[in-house]
Structure 1
Amino acid sequence: MVLSGFRKEIPMKPIISPVGDCAISIDFGQVIDPKINRHIRQTIERIQELNLEGIIELVPTYCALLLQYDAMLYSYEELCNIIEPTLEQTITDNANELVTVVEIPTVYGGEFGPDLGFVASHNNLTEDEVVAIHSGTDYLVYMLGFIPGFTYLGGMDPCIATPRLSSPRTLIPAGSVGIAGEQTGTYPSDSPGGWQIIGRTPVTMYDMSKKQAALLSAGDYVRYVPIDEAEYNRINALGADYAPSMYEVEVGELRGY
């Protein structure tokens, strides 16, 4: 899923519509934008504060929120009446808000990033410049999807944007860091894929043995940290026992924002 150039006006009020007979879609606009993401996350928090019985799952996407519910407890109209007030509340926009940053150590180029050279030449840059640009931004996790634990990130500098591969690879190793259009992300497990691979992390991004299987959650920020092959091997040897650096910063202190 790549939404490069996907730009429309943000609606004044989110639009609610049914999805089958037991889910609701709340559409916040048709643009990848931190303000929309903030609105989605705050709406989730406000719905959770209602402590409603029968709310099965709240699934955020780039521009919408899917609410799955027990149709034996609510009709579509009843649930709409309950949640509509949460959509009318003011969205807070505070540069002092604390957010979670997760550092993802990454080896760039070589066998770990076979497409780094192409990304550089496509954008008339050196490989070192691509690495500096890519690792110099803190990326907002908008949503997870495609495969369990795969993160769709926002905020990548368009000067390193690169089209997908013309022919997808049948196997991309777990931990591979890629670029597709104006997006970047990390493959949490071995998978086919068509993204341009510029590096790889030894961090375990998805572990089904843990209560929270995915390392990252929507609303977190990812900070890619360049490392060399020796450090990659050291972390890789630790496997799931390695805990990446994770800390809180104020929104105003994020890089690239």
Structure 2
Amino acid sequence: MSPKIIFSGDTSINVVFENVLSEEINNQVLAIANLVKNQHIVGLLDIVPAYREVTFVFDPLIIDIVAFKSFLQEELTKPTISLTTGSGKIYEIPVLYNETVGLDLLEVTNYHGLSMEEVIRLHVDRAYRIYMLGFLPGFAYLGGLDKKLHTPRKNTPRLQIPAGSIGIGGEQTGYYPVESPGGWQIIGKTPIVMFDSNHPEIKLHAGDKMKFYAIDEPEYKTMKGTHFNDFFAEEIMS
């Protein structure tokens, strides 16, 4: 299916790809987003990539939207649009998995008929792709969860989930960067501060990857309160 170019108002235009969740489609989204970004087009205000589409926000009094649409149509026909634009970085996040911080860890083990050790092993056993950022500041939509851990969201969402909580929602996994209501099944918690409003710059990018690894309580206490940007300072600067 060829991508479609659709106006979503008088100040934005979307490039929409096939309605499937795949790295190939997401690579195309990131490629066209990055290509347009590098053009430094006057009047283009924001670029918002998602799973299978990218939104370009523009000032209609400045940008020549007809010319911009033609530019998009031409670029989308080129084979290089399928190239990935991720940095290739893999951020390894420490997680304490236990019943105290993993509020639903037992529920997840019982749902799948697995032991706690098996759930943890399956969760840390792969690197997850960041498909997009959104929902909450610093929240990454991660793809690639093992099918053995796919778990329905809670019927009644919690009003408060602590910042740093690691959860499973359907076929996705991820973390709550700030305290928030939510319906994901919480299986652990990271000591790393994933978002701080006093230092709001987010270093994660769509196309990067994230991997979790298990730590014990003494390690959790030692790392507690460390900001993401400080914890990964060398990787971010490289």
TM-score where L is the length of structure 2 = 0.91
Deviation at 1:28, TM superposition (A): 1.1
Q: Deviation per CA, 1:140-196: give whole Å up to 9, x if none.
A: 111111111111110111111000001000000000010011001110000000000
Preserved CA contact (<8 Å) 2:91 2:209:
yes
The AA in structure 2 aligned to 1:106 is V
Q: Is the 8 A contact 2:13 2:56 kept in 1?
A: yes
Name 1:101's counterpart in structure 2. 90
Q: Pairwise mapping of residues 217-236 of structure 1 onto structure 2 (< 5 A)?
A: 217-236=205-224
Deviating more after overlay: 136-145 vs 67-76:
67-76
Work out whether 1:20 is the aligned partner of 2:13. no
Q: Secondary structure at the match of 2:30?
A: helix
Find 1:74's aligned residue among 29, 42, 63. Answer: 63
CA RMSD across the alignment: 2.2
SS at structure 1 position matched to 2:91: strand
Pick closer, same or farther for the CA change 1:29–1:122 going to 2, 3 Å: same
Q: Percent identity?
A: 35
Unaligned residue ranges in structure 2 (runs of 5+):
none
Matched, 1:177 2:173: no
Residue of structure 2 equivalent to 1:199: 188
Between 1:47-56 and 1:234-243, the stretch displaced more is 234-243
Identify the residue that residue 125 of structure 1 maps to in structure 2: 114
Per the normalisation by structure 1, the TM-score is 0.85
Cα distance, 1:31–1:52 mapped onto 2, change above 3 Å:
same
Contact (CA 8 Å) 1:134, 1:156: kept in 2 or not? yes
Alignment of 1:1-257 (within 5 A): 11=1, 13-91=2-80, 99-210=88-199, 213-238=201-226, 242-244=230-232, 247=235
Q: Which segment drifts farther, 142-151 or 176-185?
A: 142-151
Structure 2 CA distance, aligned partners of 1:167 and 1:160?
20
Q: Which whole-Å CA distance do the structure 1 matches of 2:104 and 2:110 have between them?
A: 10
- Judge conservation of contact 1:173–1:187 (CA < 8 Å) in 2: yes
* Structure 1 stretch displaced more, 160-169 or 85-94: 85-94
* Aligned residue pair count: 235
Aligned-partner Cα distance in 2 for 1:116–1:82: 50
Conserved in 2, the CA contact under 8 Å of 1:102 and 1:246? Answer: no
Q: Contact (CA 8 Å) 1:171, 1:190: kept in 2 or not?
A: yes
Ranges in structure 1 where 5+ consecutive residues have no aligned partner: 1-10, 249-257
Structure-2 change in CA distance of 1:246 and 1:176 (3 Å):
farther
Q: Secondary structure at the match of 1:231?
A: helix
Deviation track 1:108-166 (CA, whole Å, cap 9, x = no partner) reads 12211011111111112111111111111100111111111111110111111000001
The alignment partner of 1:134 has SS state of helix
